[in-house]
Chain A
């Protein structure tokens, strides 16, 4: 496995060096990376999947001075967050804010704690870490119109969003998720949970030295539903009447089948 990885990496490096003059970013040749698979298929037995993110680095500093940060972001969506308050003795949704666009999935893995790798300004610039994701307050739903929402209020909702997503394993920060082998190769393993949003994911690889980005590469990963589940989902959204009638038909057939079966027994 490791041999295969380093072999691939060498080929990729050679190719990059050959075209080095054409590289759009000056530092792009410091890092090459790839994924173990670029398509995740969600079928009926899907309970999550592991992907391997790996690559090679060309460190310029002394041994051990390079850090790698891997970011995987799901498709961006808008989310309405609701906050429960006690009204007349019971807990009800009393306040709402719509935030967006925010990725439905976000994972960051690194060789060390992010705070030790880069200063806040750099992390904020590259949106490394869920707290640095850029979004705005939207007024898409009438109840979410909140002219009085202050920055502290927005931060509270954003923190809650990250907390709930982390609880569902859809947001994660792993400061020991990337391991560097012999100052050259790196690998990170990521476990994608079962509640993944579907769509195109962006993978980003950063090579940091002395708190600055010296290498960067980006790629894509697609997460798609497949098989019977896909058919059901597409029908449910595009032909809801047909889907509903299909549900009733199956239920009727099953009820009739059982009644007939147990009548004979």
Chain B
């Protein structure tokens, strides 16, 4: 069954979109990640204009982070003060990201911006994850307990001025690092159509040294607001949010996430991470090859007068 996507200006198969939403939702439930970094490239692969894919995917992540975040909220596993600081940086970053996106869109370079951001971030994150999980698998096979690396307490960046007490995280640190992390993630969110959890969570654990029990909840808390900001800003500046597309992805996503969470409980953590790392590297590889090999069509068309 086909459905017309009013902003993407194309018709797509409903079952394909819901199916993609469920597969990515399944993986995000299984691995505990947002899934935006898999969904946006998939949407581009099926022919959705990259600018529409990014903005609509940000809209979908609002839904998945609200449903995920509520569970943590009820368990009080959210550091609201830290979340608000991260969010302030995030909203500023998403504004900057959307402006950059708009500028490069007018110059015809936004597809390159999206692809190259993906190639860089996915290959770095994928490689780090793969290394870490393979190491963990080897250690467990040898029967050694895994040591969690927590080098030196309070690095100099956390001792910068403007310190604030975060009771929930039991921290007294400068607000400059969380603002900067928030800003970076907000920018990535606007450019790549992701929640940014894959950067935010390691940054909170290793840089801000937040206790792991509040990390996921706080990350989701700020993702809700940052992806909402990204959605509104893309709608205002670029008119690229396709609500019909986003809603179909949401439907698939929520169904998939529930089954994914069940499947994830049966698999071992480090093997899951190794699998996810391979998927991430695969997507990065595909995007890179698309940039390196001569495309079949060297020309592209952009309509100048867009009206309803």
Contact = CB atoms under 8 A, between A and B. Distances in A.
Interface of A: 42-47, 77-86, 89-93, 96, 98, 100, 104, 140-141, 143, 157, 160-161, 163-165, 167, 194-195, 197-198, 225, 229-230, 232-234, 236-238, 240-241, 243-248, 250-252, 254-256, 258-260, 262-263
6 contacts: A80-B301, A84-B299, A91-B294, A161-B301, A255-B62, A255-B250
A248 B70 contact: no
Nearest to B7: A236
A241 B232 contact: yes
Contacts of B306: 237
Nearest to A48: B11
Of the listed residues A229, A237, A259, the one surrounded by the most CB atoms of chain B closer than 10 A to its CB is: A259
A82 B10 contact: no
A43 B293 CA distance: 38
Given A45-B2, A79-B302, A237 B109 contact: no
Nearest to A86: B294
Given A84-B295, A164-B297, A79 B304 contact: yes
Contacts of B9: 195
A248 B304 contact: no
B71 A259 contact: yes
A89 B292 contact: yes
B301 A251 contact: no
A161 to B, nearest CB: 6
A254 B254 contact: yes
Contact of A246 (B60, B68, B243): B243
Interface stretch (B31-39, B155-163, B199-207, B234-242): B234-242
A260 B9 CA distance: 34
A135 B228 CA distance: 42
A71 to B, nearest CB: 21
Contact of B108 (A45, A90, A93): A93
Contact of A77 (B4, B224, B235, B305): B305
A81 B300 contact: yes
